[in-house]
Structure formats: structure tokens, C-alpha cells
Amino acid sequence: MIVLIPSYEPDQRLPQLVADLGGASPVVIVDDGSGPDYAAIFAECERRGATVLRHQVNRGKGAALKTGFAYLAQVFPGEPVVCADSDGQHSPVDILRVAAALDDSGPDMVLGARLFTGRVPLRSKVGNGITRQLFALATRRKLIDTQTGLRAYPARLIPWLLEVPGDRFEYELQLLLRATAEDQDIREVEIATIYLDENASSHFRPLHDSALIYRQLISFVGSSLLAFVLDTSVLFAGVALTGNVTGSAIAARVVSGGSNYAVNRWWVFRNGSAKAPLLPSLLRYAALAATILVANILLLHALLAATGSLLVAKVVTEGTLFAASFLIQRAVVYSCKKRAGSLHDDRIGASFRESVDASADLTAK
């Protein structure tokens, strides 16, 4: 088991963590462009036995993790990895417990889950609570801690880890979204909730980084609102012109669905630079749209009869179907549904080469 620690502008807690691990596992640290002011800290980590990889400029936590994954795949092939933060939030005991859980049960990933009890900074408690609820809404999967940086992965998952898009804090949430979409086995192990000095050493920027973390959820909401405006406009116009609710609902869904498919394929569910194949994803989207259309019409008629208001019936109908649409689009329409263990050797090699090429400014000591 290798311990991988991405680090940006650390303090003395980082070399202390290396010392506390006491050689139980090889430690690889990625200095994510901390600069010369922090060279002494990383040098001390090296003296205590860690390998330090260096980015010349700050590229983000996701990029640092990918640099570490690519290095491990080449230098320690076949070895599982446990990722930990460098700011004192993860104790050596918890790091080793999470690593042991991966060895014992063989899941696709193990998360060190904090219960957020005791003295927890308000921004951390609120932020984690919101993310946990949004994640459960989007995936129908409840996890205790969606923002934990303490995670263990088997060696077979490293090619997959290199393929998931994201360079900064959003990368770790993208991993969980992709993992749940592909029905991977995610386990959680309770760890201590540790916040030192009100988490002052954290480089997480609440507004900017939360926007990155929630990007897919927020963009899906934006795409859905656009479709809702088109759908509602066409529906009202159709009813006003023809008096036919069913025909107008069908016409509205065709117009809004076409725009929604295009926006989701090009923007919302785009996997880095790659888009879902046009014909397969279009056919899946059409099947989903047809299913939702039937549900939409049935609910619309029922609610219109119950409330007497077309607007109220429309809003309630769309709200009811929103979560189901997101889940199915992300998990089925725009996902290849491939498991990490089934990747071919040529794709594994390509993943490693692409990651190493992207880390051309990396130096290892």
C-alpha cells in the first residue's frame, strides 16, 4: 500500500505525518507548486523517507493526485494507494485503518468518513451537509462524507482515476459521481473529525471551489431551466392556439428536448474533451424523453384536474421528474458504463502516457 499526499504550501504537520507513519508504507508527496518558501518542508519530508514530486506551478488538487497516480502506476505497479491530506486532518491511525479496509474487503474504493461531531468550523459543517444532500438527491446514494480526502483505491482502479476529468477540488466529487453511475462498490470507514485552528491551513475557497464541485449539478439545473422555459412557452402557445393539452405537451417536449439533449451532451455531461457518441446517446435520450413524456402527460392531466391551474400543474410535474431525469441521463444516456477492471491494456498504457505528458513540468527527487 502506497500513501499519496497532494500538498500545497504545507506546514510542519506534513513532515510530522511522514514521521508518524514510520515507514509502515512508502509515502509519495506531490508538491503542487508551493514555491521556494516551502522547499525546506519538502526537503525534511524527503529526509524522513518520502518521495517528493514537484509541479513548477500550482495546478490544483486533482492534477496533483493524477500526477501521483501516474507515478505510482509506473514505479509501484500493482500496488493499492491510500490518499491523504497534508493539513493535519488525517491521523496516521485513520490512514492505516482505511488502507486496511481496502485490503480486507476488496471494494472499488474506501472512504474515510467523518461524522462532523464536536468542534467543527461552521463553513465546513454547512458545506459538507449541503454537498451530502445534493449528492444524495443526484445519485440516490447516501454517503456520510462526500468531501473526504482520505480515500483508498485498489491498483486496478488507477487507469480509471486518471481518466476522470477535473484538476482542482471538484475532481474528488467527480470521482464519486462517476463511481456511483458505474455502480462501483464504495465503502465508508468512520474516522476522527479533526479541524485544527478552525481549519485555517485549508486552501479550499468556499465560493470558487464550491462552484467547481457543484458544476455538474448547477449546470444541469441551468440546462433544465432553459428546457423548462422553452417547454412552458411552447405549451402555453399551443394550448392558446389549439386548446389541445396533449398535442401541445408533445410539441413542447420535442422542442425543449432537442435543445436539452444538445446542451447536456456538449456541456453538462461532457467528459473532459470527450462527448458521448452521438447516435447511441441520442437513441438513449429519445427513449428517456419518451418515457418522461408519458409520465409528464399523465401527471399534468391529473394535477390540472386537481388544481385547475396549468402553471401549478406544470411546475409540480417538472419538479417531480427532475431528479429522475438527472440520474438517468448521467448514469445511462451519457455514460459508457464500463468498469475499471475491464479496461484493455492499450487503454491503460494510453492513460499513463497522457497523464505523464500532461505533467511535463514534473520533477522527481
363 lies in a domain? no
Residues 160 and 240 in one domain: no
The model's pLDDT over 58-90, given as tens digits with 9 standing for 90+, comes to 998 999 999 999 999 999 999 999 999 888 788
- Which secondary structure element, helix H or strand E, spans residue 186, and what is its range? strand 186-191
Per-residue pLDDT, 325: 78
| DSSP single-letter state for residue 361 | T
**Residue 180, pLDDT above cutoff 50:** yes
Residues 41 and 104 in one domain: yes
Per-residue pLDDT, 14: 94
**Residue 130, pLDDT above cutoff 80:** no
Q: What is the pTM of this model?
A: 0.63
Per-residue pLDDT, 349: 47
Query: Do residues 140 and 92 lie in contact, with contact meaning Cβ atoms separated by under 8 Å?
Result: no
The model's pLDDT over 146-164, given as tens digits with 9 standing for 90+, comes to 888 899 999 999 999 998 8
Query: Do residues 236 and 41 lie in contact, with contact meaning Cβ atoms separated by under 8 Å?
Result: no
Alpha-carbon span 335 to 69, nearest angstrom: 23
303 lies in a domain? yes
Alpha-carbon span 57 to 13, nearest angstrom: 22
Per-residue pLDDT, 221: 77
Per-residue pLDDT, 228: 84
Alpha-carbon span 31 to 39, nearest angstrom: 9
Residue 242 CA from chain centroid, whole number: 46
61 lies in a domain? yes
The model's pLDDT over 225-240, given as tens digits with 9 standing for 90+, comes to 888 899 889 999 999 9
Residues 131 and 189 in one domain: yes
Task: Quote the domain boundaries for residue 32.
Answer: 2-202
**Residue 350, pLDDT above cutoff 70:** no
Compare 108 and 340 and report the one with higher pLDDT.
Answer: 108
Residues 273 and 168 in one domain: no
